[in-house]
Amino acid sequence: KMEKKLVKVIKGLLKTNQFRMHPNGFYQLDIGNNSRLHIWPPEKQEHQKNYNPIHDHTFSFDSFILIGHLKHYEYDYMEDEDGEYQMYNVIPVEGNHTIMEPTGKFINIIKSKEMHLLPGSRYTFEKHKFHESVNEKGVLTATIMKKTQQGYDLRARIIGIRNHDPDDNSFDRTKIDQDKAHMYLEDVLANTGKNILYGAHKFIKK
- pTM summary value: 0.93
Mean pLDDT of 9-13: 90
Is 159's pLDDT higher than 70?
yes
For residues 92 and 121, the model is more confident at 121
Mean pLDDT of 23-48: 89
3-state secondary structure labels for all residues of 32-88: ECCEEEEEECCCCCCCCCCCCCEECCCEEEEEEEEECCEEEEEEEEEECCCCCEEEE
pLDDT for position 56: 96
Is 170's pLDDT higher than 80?
yes
For residues 191 and 174, the model is more confident at 191
Reported as a pLDDT band with limits 50, 70 and 90, residue 151 is: low
Is 191's pLDDT higher than 90?
yes
Mean pLDDT of 120-145: 96
Is 153's pLDDT higher than 70?
no
Mean pLDDT of 26-44: 93
Q: Say how far apart CA 93 and CA 44 lie, in whole Å.
A: 25
pLDDT tens digit string along 52-101?
A: 999 999 999 999 999 999 999 999 999 999 999 999 999 988 766 789 99
H-type helices in the chain, by residue range? 2-13, 178-191, 194-205
Average pLDDT, the chain: 92
pLDDT for position 198: 92
**Cβ neighbours for 171, distance < 8 A, ≥ 6 positions apart:** 23, 46, 47, 48, 49
Reported as a pLDDT band with limits 50, 70 and 90, residue 119 is: very high
Is 38's pLDDT higher than 90?
yes
Mean pLDDT of 118-122: 97
